[in-house]
Structure 1
Amino acid sequence: MGIIAFIIIGLIAGLIARAILPGKQSMGLLATTLLGMVGSLVGGLIGSLFSRNGHFFDIRPSGIIMSVIGAIIVLLLVGAVGRRRVHA
């Protein structure tokens, strides 16, 4: 997968993750794209644990779904760290 495709899928995964999770996430377009890209890596790593084919960077519907799930996990972690920092 090329870097442009990785960025576009990251943006889409980040936007979907932010739309699924309730609450206010004060992120710009760049932060949303980075969220989706990191989520894509996290989702790919999680997906590779359950896959036997070894195709890590192929574009498939299951990979896009795992990218969104990974972005949701990253967004939850960022939210938890942010809340802990505010209350401390």
Structure 2
Amino acid sequence: MTPRKNQWWYLAEYIGTNGFTTGPVPYNSGAHQFDISIKVLKHQLEISTSQGDFEHFSLQDQLSVADFYKKLMGLLKKLNRIKN
């Protein structure tokens, strides 16, 4: 959601009690937020929004990087967090 910077320094993943999270990511001119979490014990990726929307998919299957990307982008499009 932000412009790229050298060496991807702007990307931060935070360690939580259940796995890793992006922390809040603003969208819609900062009016709303979403976060992406990888729940290690549940073996799933979860996306939740400040509007109460929630989506997830299992990480139990062996996904290629391309398949992981397609699933993630598909969920973000479904939640209207990225443009088509």
Give the TM-score normalised by structure 2.
0.32
Greater RCO (Cα-Cα under 8 Å, separation 6 or more)? 1
Whose strand fraction is larger, Structure 1's or Structure 2's? 2
When normalised by structure 1's length, the TM-score is 0.31
